Amino acid sequence: MSRKKFINAKLKSVNELQEILTDHGVFQEISPRISAPDCEIIDLQGKLILPPYVDPHIHLDYVFTARKQGAANGTGTLFEGIQRWSETKSDLTVDEIKARAIIAVKKELAHGVQFIRTHADVTDPSLTSLKAMLELREELKDLVTIQIVSFPQEGMYAYKGGQELVEEGLKMGADCVGGIPHFELAREFGEQSIHSIVNLALKYDRMIDVHCDETDDVQSRFLELLNALVLMEGIGKKTTASHTCSFGSADNSYAFKLMKNLKKSGLNFISCPTENIYLQGRQDTYPKRRGLTRVKELFENGINVCFAQDSIQDPWYPLGNGNLMNVLDNGIHIAQMMSFEEIDRCLDLITVNGAKTMNLTNSYGIEAGKPANFIVLDAKNEFEAVSERADVSASIRNGEFLFKKAPVSYEIQNDFMK
């Protein structure tokens, strides 16, 4: 039945249980009592309801390549990951990439994700990864919303024709311009890439998502230039700085000045806590840096920041399963965001803040008139969800269940456990 009433729903920051009426895939009404005689009724039993999880940064073209011959990353560094990928990517085909990516998307969906931004490596002249991602975006659109970044993994100016490939990716339909300035051959090339990224975004009216300063090198300050350019052009809210690890190692007086300008531009930040705690600090002995950007300080300053998975078993990171609750749990520990208020608010880092980063706010959220997309957590409130690392027990898209899990049952044999 296209018309459904979900009853006993616990909404975030709302004490009284609510009813949610959906019709033809759209939220019609959300209130404590709804009179709607002809509809299917689904009892959510007081469980916490959230808008779907958002994974705003992953590399779906890389997933499950970690065990490929020659892909093992012995040093565990970002730069060896790039080298291993470069050396082992020549045999990829569209079908092979899609087959791996679909497994990863299914994992993310099963963990409550419905919105994904993937990077697609465009440093291969045949643009195989991008072609695979464009096909997936279309084929899976009813199940998951996918955005694609035209991303020069090996640099825009590390070889001839790199910028043209990024531009070709935009002509073919990528949603965002990407870059990797800290990996370019010289600082000036990195700066040139930032200028080109902004120019391309303006020329093709696309969003920007840059792998920016993913290094512990405090001299890597491309964030400052990116922010300044998008501030001047008024496109900060359409721009994302991913990783920004060096900002976490920067001097406080430098960070103090930059933070003010970040607030002015409206720039979005993505941190990938599990990957960057693993990849960074590799040249340190002790003390050993955590490698994350200033997540807590960005959050406190009202700058939009969110978490992402980044990798699932690729040359950069051997684990990852699309479970953003795991990413959140790691992230709030590493960033030391565990006051009770922060714990109650931190689910924003994997929901609304990610949606804002992806510029989805008109179609995202539990509000009348928006698509009826939401997830049900196996928890009674925000604190219990985070402290128990609650599972997602159901995911609803356009008013229909993508899945629902039966409650876990135990055979209790010990008196103390009864």
Q: Token pair 């409130």 is at which residue?
A: 381
Q: Name the residues that contact Fe ion, by CB under 5 A.
A: 310
Question: 57 or 137: whose CB is closer to Fe ion?
Answer: 57
Find all residues with CB under 8 Å of 221, minimum gap 6, and list them: 213, 246, 250
| Distance, CA of 8 to CA of 20 (rounded, Å) | 9
| Distance, CA of 306 to CA of 57 (rounded, Å) | 10
Question: 128 or 276: whose CB is closer to Fe ion?
Answer: 276
Kindly report each contact of residues 261-266 with a partner whose C-beta sits within 8 Å and lies 24 or more positions away, as own/partner: 261/224, 261/227, 261/228, 261/231, 262/227, 262/298, 262/301, 262/303, 263/301, 263/302, 263/303, 264/231, 264/236, 265/227, 265/230, 265/231, 265/236, 265/239, 266/236, 266/237, 266/304
| Distance, CA of 311 to CA of 334 (rounded, Å) | 18
Question: 175 or 310: whose CB is closer to Fe ion?
Answer: 310
Q: Is 191 helix (H, G, I), strand (E, B) or coil?
A: helix
Phi, psi values for residue 219, rounded to 5° = -80, -10
Catalytic position from the list 19, 167, 184, 214? 214
Active site residue 214: yes
Question: 236 or 320: whose CB is closer to Fe ion?
Answer: 320
Q: What is the DSSP string of 213-282?
A: --SS-TT--HHHHHHHHHHHHT-GGGEEEEE-GGGGTS-HHHHHHHHHHHHHHT-EEEE-HHHHHHHSST
Torsion of CA 61, 65, 70, 75, to 10 degrees: 90
Q: Give residue number: closest CB to Fe ion.
A: 310
Question: 59 or 238: whose CB is closer to Fe ion?
Answer: 59
Q: Which residues are tagged catalytic?
A: 214
